[in-house]
Amino acid sequence: MTVVAAVARSTRVRPLSAADLLAEAVARAGLWERLAERAHGDPGAVAVLLTPGTSAYGDPATAVSAALVEHLIDLLHDRGYRDATVGAARCGPDPWLAGPGLPEACRRLGYGGLTPQGNTYRVVDLSEEVGPAGFPDSSVLHGSGLARSWLDAGFRINIAKNSTHPEFGYALCLANLFGVLPQDDKHHHYRARRDGAEVVVDLLRSHPPDFHLIDAVVSSHGCAGSHVGRPLRTETVIAAPDGVLADMVGALLMGVDPVSSPLNARVLSDRGLPDAYRIDGDLTPYQGWRNPPRSLVEAVRRLAPDGRVHRLFSVAAWHVAPGTAVTDPALARLSRLLTSLIRAADANPAAAAALCAMVGAAASASSTVRAWRTGNAKDGLRRRDVSLAVDPDAYTHEDYDRITDLLRPLETVIDALPADAWQMRWQHVGHSILFGCERTVNAPYREFVRRVDISRSISYMTDYLGGRVHVVSRDAQGRPIRQIERNLYLAQPNYLAYYGGPPIDVCKLESVDYGEQRQRISWRTVSSPNGSAEYDDGSVTFLPADGGGRTRIVIRVRQRFTLPLTWQMIRPDTRPRLRDPLVQDSYQRFFTRTLDNFEAQYEGRPFRIGRPWEDSDDLEAAELPTQRLTEAARMLRTVASQTLTVPTPPGRLGPDGFWHVAPGDLPTRSPLLEEFRESLRPAVAGFWQGLREAAARDRRSRRTP
C-alpha cells in the first residue's frame, strides 16, 4: 500500500479554517480507510487514543491546539468511533519548577472533556497505570513499561506541535513520542540514562503509533520554539500513517534538511521511509520562518546529555508560566534570564551571538571536565544503557561459526611476532594493529573457569562503560555458544578525549567454545554505531597451566579505531618515531589493566568503572548546580545574620548591678558551628567507613591463593 503524506494548507486563494484543514489532511492521508481495516465493521469496538503534545505549564504557544484535537474527536464520533481518549504527559522540568499538575495543565490548554458538538472524552495520564510492555532483551527499553491506555489502545494517533528545538533543530512527531513514555523525569530516563534516538527507535519497533498529525496552524519557531513559545500562523496541517515521513515533510516546510536532527537521522537510518510513498501537497517553505542558529544547535549538542550542564540548560530554557510554584529560586532566576535571551536572540543578532557564546562556553567547560574524568576520575562517569543497535535476525548460525576460521591467520601472525619487555606482541598491518598478550595467574584452572564466565570476557575489559548482550543459542548446559553483543568503552587512549575522541562503540558477533582443556570466545565486529571503529576483532582463551594448578589467559586482537580530526591532521602513521611509543604505551596500559580485571573477577573484587543507573537515582538527578547555589546563599545569609546580631550576654543582671553567670549559662558551641559540624558528619563517617572496607579488601586479597 502506498503511504500518503498529506499537506493541507490555507492560502489567500483558498482560505480554510483549522477544522477544514484537519478534515482534508486526514482524509487525503487515508485515516478513515486504516481505521476501517482495524474496526472490521464495528467502529464502536475500537478504542482510539490521541496523544497530543502538551506544554509543561499549560503554555498554549508550545502545545497542540485543544480545539483541533476536539474537532478530530468529533470527526471520529461522526464515523462511529465513540471510544476516544486523550493521553497526555508532560516533558517539562517538574522536579524543580513545580507545574500546575496534569489535570490543571490540560484544563489551561482547553481540554474540558466535552467537544463543541457535545461529545465526551477522557483525559488520561500516560505516566499512570503502567504495565509491562514486553520490550525484547535487545532493546534499550528492556524491562520498562508503558501506560495501559497506550498498550490496550486499538488505534493510536500521535499529534505533534510544529516547533523548532534548540538541540534537535526541529521537534515533530518522533520527538513527541517522549511524552508517551511513563517516567516523569524524561531527561533522566530517556536522554541521560539512555540515548534518546535509541528510545524512539525501540518504541517504534514494539508499540508504534498508527497515524501521525502535525498541528502547524499556529506554529512556534525561533531559537527554541518547543520551550519558549514564539507563535507564527502557518495555516497548515500535515497527516501521514508514518511518523518518519510526516517529520520529513515538516522539516522541508521549515526549510531544513530532514536528517539534520540526530533523532530523525537515527530513525531514518534504522528503518528508513516506507517502501512506497507519495507527498500530496505543496512543500513551499513557511514565509517568515526562523530556525535555530546552527552555532546554537551545535553548542547544545556538545553538552553531554548525562551531564549536569545539559540538564541545567534543558530545564532553564523552559518558559515558566506566571503562578508556577518555584522550588529552586536560583534556577527560576536563571530561567528568566535564559528565556529572555532566547526571545531577544530571534530578532537581535547581538543577543543571538551572546546566547551562542554562553552555551558554547558551557559546552567547552563541560567537555573539558568530562575529558578529565575519562583519564582521572572514571568512577564519576555514568555507565550507559544501550540497545543492541543491530538486528539479530540478520545473521545466521554460519556467520558465528566462521569467526574462528577468519581469525586463525591473524592469530598465527601474532604468535610469530617477537615479544617486547612486557611480553606483549604487536605489529601494524594494513592500517590496523595486530596485538597479543598473555598472563599465567595463580588460580586453579577449574576454579578459575567456574568463577570467570568466558562468555562475559568483553565486559571484563578495562574502561568498559556498558553494553547489551543477546544470546542466540545455548549448549545443553544452558551456556551461551552464539551471541551478539554491543560494547562501549572510554576513548582509547584516554587522552584522546581532550581532542574530541568519542567512546568506542562496537557491535560484535561472538562464538563461545567450552572444551575440557580450553575455553575460548572469538568475536568479529559487524557495526560501529558512532563510527569509532573499523576493526575490533579478537579472542580470549583460558588454558590450564602447570597441570591445571594455574590458569593461562591469552588475548589476541586486530583493531583499527577512528582518530579525532586533530590527530588525523597530524597523521601519526607517517611518523613511526611518534606513533610507535604511543601505541606501545597505550596497549600496554589497556591490556595490563584488562588482565588485572580477569584476576579481580576471579577474586571477587570490584573493578568496573563508572556508576550504574538505578531507579533511585531520580532524587540525585534532580540536584542541580543552582540548588547548591541556593544552599550557599542561605548559608551566607545565616552567617551574616549571626554576625550582625548583637549577642545577648549569658546569665542575668542582679540587683547589685553585676551579671551573675552559672556554668550552664555558657554556650558550648555557636549555632553556625554546630550546623557546620552536623553537615560534615556524614562525609567524615563515610570516609572512615570506606577506609575500613578498603583495608579489609586488601587483607582478603593477600590471603587469596
What is the rounded CA–CA span in Å between residue 314 and residue 185? 12
> In the prediction, which pLDDT does 620 show?
47
What is the rounded CA–CA span in Å between residue 201 and residue 602? 38
In a domain, 108, yes or no: yes
**Is the distance from CB of 259 to CB of 175 less than 8 angstroms?**
no
End-to-end CA distance of the chain: 68
Cell of 388: 543492541
pLDDT > 70: what percent of the chain? 84
Position 619 confidence tier, pLDDT thresholds 50, 70, 90: very low
DSSP E strand boundaries for 148-210:
155-165, 169-171
Question: pLDDT tens-digit profile of 265-303?
Answer: 999 988 889 999 999 999 999 999 999 999 999 999 988
Same domain, 463 and 592: yes
More confident residue, 188 or 394: 394
> In the prediction, which pLDDT does 572 show?
81
In a domain, 384, yes or no: no
Cα–Cα nearest to 555, from 494, 608, 598, 503? 598
Domain that holds residue 635: 624-645+668-679
Quick check: 326 pLDDT over 90?
Answer: no
Cα–Cα nearest to 486, from 371, 568, 384? 384
Same domain, 253 and 149: yes
Same domain, 518 and 630: no
More confident residue, 314 or 596: 596
Beta pairing, strands 48-52 & 155-165: parallel
**Is the distance from CB of 174 to CB of 200 less than 8 angstroms?**
yes
Cell of 628: 547548591
What is the rounded CA–CA span in Å between residue 631 and residue 514? 58
Quick check: 42 pLDDT over 60?
Answer: yes
What is the rounded CA–CA span in Å between residue 590 and residue 496? 14
In a domain, 358, yes or no: no
Least confident of 542-546, 550-554, 614-618, 653-657: 614-618
Mean of the per-residue pLDDT values of the chain: 86
Same domain, 574 and 629: no
Same domain, 545 and 635: no
Question: pLDDT tens-digit profile of 19-39?
Answer: 999 999 999 999 999 999 999
**Domains identified in the chain, total number:** 3
Same domain, 404 and 262: no
> In the prediction, which pLDDT does 277 show?
93
Same domain, 552 and 675: no
In a domain, 50, yes or no: yes
Cα–Cα nearest to 485, from 462, 463, 464? 464
In a domain, 267, yes or no: yes
Same domain, 513 and 640: no
Same domain, 544 and 634: no
Quick check: 368 pLDDT over 80?
Answer: yes
Same domain, 574 and 635: no
CB atoms within 10 A of CB 661: 12
pTM of the predicted model as reported, rounded to 2 decimal places:
0.84
**Is the distance from CB of 331 to CB of 626 less than 8 angstroms?**
yes
Residue 430 belongs to a domain with what CATH number? 3.30.530.20
Work out the burial of residue 690: count CB atoms within 10 Å of its CB; fewer than 13 is exposed, 13-18 middle, 19 or more buried.
exposed
Cα–Cα nearest to 9, from 307, 284, 319, 401? 284
Q: What is the mean predicted confidence (pLDDT) over 506-528?
A: 95
Q: What is the DSSP secondary-structure string of 551-611? A: EEEEEEEEEEEPPPHHHHHH-GGG-HHHHHHHHHHHHHHHHHHHHHHHHHHHHT-----SB
Same domain, 169 and 231: yes
Question: pLDDT tens-digit profile of 418-460?
Answer: 988 778 999 988 889 999 999 999 999 999 999 999 999 999 9
Domain termination residue (choose one: 285, 304, 333): 285
Q: Half-sphere exposure of residue 315, counting CA atoms within 13 Å on the CB side?
A: 32
Same domain, 427 and 536: yes
Residue 214 belongs to a domain with what CATH number? 3.40.50
In a domain, 159, yes or no: yes
In a domain, 177, yes or no: yes
In a domain, 506, yes or no: yes
